[in-house]
Amino acid sequence: MLSYTSMNGNTHSKLIGYILWLFGFTGAHRFYFGKPITGTIYFFTLGLFFIGWIIDLFLIPSMDRKADMKYVEGEISYTIAWILLTFLGLFGIHRFYLRKWFTGLLYLITGGLLGIGYIYDYWTLNDQISEIHEKSLF
């Protein structure tokens, strides 16, 4: 696999990370920074019983750096896509933003495929965007 480290810029925002941290007991900030497994654990344990949530206050800069190195920068903003997913994901607005018209319409009609697609996108949104950016490089 090619390394895109030199092409990566600031793909994620610390500010958005800290805002999502306010809801950190749900794991939102961990999903945003590309950590779906620990995001899910935080969701089901209330941020590791609030202890992990407090510790993450100090770990966000590190999570931001790792996300910036892992994901490919491009014309689609990770931050905008995450905001659209978080607040309008059941309506598929983030999918329209990603130019995935068919699934956007499908989410709009079915309420994010009855919420299952919405959860799927929490797990995969960073990778979906990075894949779009990688394709545009070639």
Summarize pLDDT for 87-125 with one digit per residue, the tens.
Answer: 999 999 999 999 999 999 999 999 999 999 999 999 999
* Number of domains composing the chain: 2
Q: Are residues 37 and 84 in the same domain?
A: no
Helix axes 36-49, 51-70, angle to 10 degrees: 160
Q: Are residues 92 and 131 in the same domain?
A: yes
Q: Are residues 89 and 125 in the same domain?
A: yes
**End-to-end C-alpha distance for the chain, whole angstroms:** 14
Q: Are residues 134 and 88 in the same domain?
A: yes
Token pair listed for 34: 């590309």
Q: Are residues 2 and 66 in the same domain?
A: yes
Q: Are residues 98 and 82 in the same domain?
A: yes
CA dihedral 42, 48, 49, 55 (to 10 degrees): -110
Instruction: Say how far apart CA 68 and CA 72 lie, in whole Å.
Output: 8
Boundary residue ending a domain (25, 44, 73):
73
| Structural domain of 106 | 75-138
Boundary residue ending a domain (28, 46, 73):
73
Are the C-beta atoms of residues 43 and 101 closer than 8 Å to each other? no
In tens digits, what is the pLDDT along the chain, a chain of 138 residues?
Answer: 333 333 558 999 999 999 999 987 789 999 999 999 999 999 999 999 999 999 999 999 999 999 999 999 999 999 999 999 999 999 999 999 999 999 999 999 999 999 999 999 999 999 999 999 999 887
* % residues pLDDT > 90 (the chain): 88
pTM of the model: 0.87
Are the C-beta atoms of residues 97 and 81 closer than 8 Å to each other? yes
